[in-house]
Chain A
Amino acid sequence: MLAILLLNSCLLFSQNREYLIKAAVLEKMTRFIKWPDSGTMENKILVIGVISDTDETVKNFEQYYSEQTVQGKPVSVQSINNLENIKVCDILYISRIHSLPLEQIQNEVQNLPVLLVSEQPGYARKGTHINLLIVDNRLQYEINETLLRQGGFYVWAQLLNSAVIIKTGKEVL
């Protein structure tokens, strides 16, 4: 009986929690980030675009942000399938499972006040602003400080305290 139960078990629980935690971390990080003046932060709604080949990230982000504001604004979580839509985003979250080339994404957001967040080892070096990674069953984050500054973002000192700082700008892909 126990064996049957074990064989039939299917655990999605932990992955849900991973994305809830990432949503929370993202929201708390934004408290320490100031968008450039030309940013869409003037809008009444904050848009988080998610590039992912699965629904998992969007579903959990929607769940988390349904009752949570960012910088006092309600949040709209949008799945990005067409790169044209990137322009309305304040934050672009690039899931580790995605089929769009990073370089193409970067070209689309170039000179736009969009915060690029990823979850893939090495992506902060390749040109995202923030990279969330799981180490020792806990979340850590890398910050590409050079890129943030170049993009006109201001980062509070407290956020840099806990981060792995990358100052090399964008590496050649």
Chain B
Amino acid sequence: MNTKTVFFTIFIFLAGLLSFYPIELFPRETGEQPDQLADTLFRYELMTMSLDEVLNLEIEAGSYIPSSLADLPVSITIIDKNSIRMTPARTLMDLIEVYVPGAFFVNHWNGPRFGFRGVMGDQNTSYLLLLNDQNINLQTSSGAFFEINNRDLNDIESIEVIRGPGSVRYGHGAIGGIINIRTLSDSLTPGVSAGGGIKPLYRSGNAFVKWSLNKKQLSFSGYAGIDASRGIKNPGFFYVDRAHGYGYGFMGREWGNKGLGTPAPNFYSDLWGNPQKKLQLDFRYKKSLKFWLRYSDAYQEKQQQQSFTADGEEFPGLMGKLFMSVLSYEPSLSETFKLYSQAGYSSGSYRDISFYQGVNAPSDDITQRKASLGENTLFLKARLNIDLQGKYKFALGGNVKYLWLGPEAGMGKKDFVNSFPAPILFAVYDTLNSGFWDKYSDRGIVSYVDETIGAYQYSGFIEANLSLLPSFSVLFSGRMDKHEFSEPAFSPRIAMIAELSDRQRLKMIAQKAVRLPTFNELYTFNKVVGEKVDPEIKSGLELMYNYHMKTGGYLDVSLFYSSIDQIAWTSQNYPDVVGRFDMIGLEGGFRYEINKGAGKLSFSWIKQTRWDPVSSPGAWLSNIGQDSLTVDFKNYGENRLNNFPGYSIKYYHNHRLSESMQLHFNGRINWGYGQADMLNSYKEIHDTYGRDETRTEMENIYETLISYGYSRPSFTGSFSFSFAPAFLDQSHIRIYAMNILKINHIRYVYQYWEEGNNRQYPRQVGFVTEPASVSIQWVYNF
């Protein structure tokens, strides 16, 4: 009997037990009816929430049917406005790492790569990033990309983070988790506030303004922000690069063993001095009709070596521009029926500047780009919610979306290029005027596409929430996602919720979640092979318990098990299952509230229980000056939790010092990193197969990495202090001290995932020593 079967058996047993004996096990003395019971629990929930949490209470996360936090069939963390404003954070990523149990990110050269519960891909395609419930993942390649590098967080009202799968609610791609950013929306009465800040170490500054108008039934609000950053020059960027012969060490002119070293990339820097910008406008008519539009952009330097171009030495970079417009109509048809409908258009421009031409072209020439495209989307969504006296609730609906690829915003067809897998490789729309085609077509790496590259996606879903017994309800949910280039992907879920007492809930959730390969992979496989792709499937079981204490504390514990049939693009030039990956994990948290403050302590543990690769794991040993040596390499190839800490403890506390002063502290400890196994395995291999020269180098790399904290237990702590100065009426000043206490706090650069489960090490791997920094932010309400 394998692990999955054991867990499933336990789950079914417990479910059956609760289904048959809920009343006997948990007798009630109050004689309350289901609605009253729900209100009682809801009341306790309200008592333990912060003001911001209560204000954001219309909770629908993880389910189509709104319910209270305690009844949601997901593990969720909500980061409220006060926490966002009080927490030292450079981007959304820092906030999530501070507040979400077990959440973690590493720095890929293309930007941050995020992981929840052991799921972390080499691209951000294993979780969904939503903005006001709209999926903003880049479909062609990187997954979550837009907004994650934005440094201005003043327009964010709250962030909802679902830990674990959720494609039954949010569609394909929600394997690892879901991040939903809620921005400031329409306000009630006229008002203007403005502010700005500086981060001296990062050589950055920002400014923003918010305003709102209200005329009877019509309201309007807006936000505009700008943030410029030159980044930290010469950060502690340690890099191993055996593939290009650079060597290893902290990057700089002296770095590199073949005279090839370059300065380190600037940390959190704009590309070519282009600041990040945001603009959002919200219009509302009455309660039911709303229209909003938003623009945001970010130009960023990649975390890579410098290159030489015709313009001189440059760091490669990425550019993202996102425009969204959404019209919502949500009328209450009656006490029983509520309709949710949306129509929208979005366009995301993506440019990957990789300097293929080197000194032969200016840095922004199209021949220097790996991709230059716009992802355009039109969508319609509709959902009907039916509520039968609060006891039986239903939701059903569907979405249709058309996505097509065009040139970047403001550019023509000649400027379009997109990097597909072989055999398409680089695709262009124009052969007569395309500089990219002119330069590379004779090498056989460019394909001309004479159709608009696009595809329809459909989804249908249904959910039923049945309060079968006074203390027991069942939630059935199902969703089908159909991409034009894929087979249908089904996401079923059953959640059983038992009220152990007024203050306690036990929930059990069984579900399957799906993820499709990237649009580029789907398109290539469909056009070349003529077949549709099967989705990656994650099966998950979760047992959750929460307890609202009389003292105001809130305890939540979650035990989960998941199994993924991992799909990747293989050497056969099609996406296929590369192995089965099983995990088990435990998360727990205790939130408390005292007289003048509140905080939370959380814990997470994750362990790989099985990895069955389809092909044999191996390694290509870097063998200086000679051919690579392929060796059998079981130990490391089997560790899929490579960059994850096995254990994590996080803590935060917000405290009111006086009527106008507030203090915040957060800290986290991580240990049990998978890299320890990786390092030891490679060292062992070099000891066994290497030559004296490689053994010596491996020994040096090993000791250097360890000495800087690689794979070792780490700690970091940050503070902030907020006050309203008496001499500046209506203003707030916040001072942030980030990573001010730290031990071994380094940010990993992504370890390349090699095709066919092979890995070369030490090839390209590294870290940045996270710096301690102080910054200040000021806000004035007019």
Contact = CB atoms under 8 A, between A and B. Distances in A.
Interface of A: 5-6, 9-11, 13, 16-17, 20-21, 23-25, 28-29, 31-32, 34, 63-64, 67-68, 121, 124-125, 133-142, 154, 156-162, 164-166
B35 interface: yes
B290 interface: yes
B35 A13 contact: yes
B85 interface: yes
Contacts of A139: 54-55, 57
B390 interface: yes
Q: Which 8 A-B pairs have the closest CB atoms?
A: A24-B46, A11-B335, A157-B724, A28-B51, A137-B58, A13-B390, A9-B336, A164-B188
Interface string B654-686: 001001101000000000000000000000000
A164 B82 contact: no
A136 B722 CA distance: 29
A136 B221 CA distance: 13
B277 interface: no
A16 B39 contact: yes
A51 to B, nearest CB: 22
B189 A24 contact: no
Mostly helix, strand, loop or mixed at chain B's interface?
mixed
Contacts of B188: 121, 133, 135, 140, 142, 164
A159 B730 CA distance: 12
Contacts of B57: 21, 138-139
B55 A25 contact: yes
Contacts of A140: 55, 187-188
5 contacts: A6-B386, A24-B47, A135-B185, A135-B219, A157-B722
Contacts of A157: 659-660, 662, 722-724, 732
A64 B46 CA distance: 9
Contact of B660 (A6, A20, A64, A156): A156
A156 B656 contact: yes
B596 to A, nearest CB: 9
A139 B54 CA distance: 8
B479 interface: no
Nearest to A15: B335
B45 to A, nearest CB: 9
B49 interface: yes
Contact of B51 (A11, A29, A125, A136): A29
Contact of A161 (B35, B82, B185, B659): B82
Given A10-B335, A21-B57, A28-B54, A166 B82 contact: no
B186 interface: yes
B81 interface: yes
B634 interface: no
B186 A136 contact: yes
B620 to A, nearest CB: 55
Interface string B171-215: 000000000000001111101000000000000000000001000
B50 interface: yes
B389 A164 contact: no
Given A10-B389, A135-B185, 7 more contacts: A21-B57, A136-B185, A139-B54, A140-B55, A141-B55, A156-B659, A157-B722
B554 to A, nearest CB: 14
A164 B723 CA distance: 19
A164 B58 contact: no
A67 B43 CA distance: 9
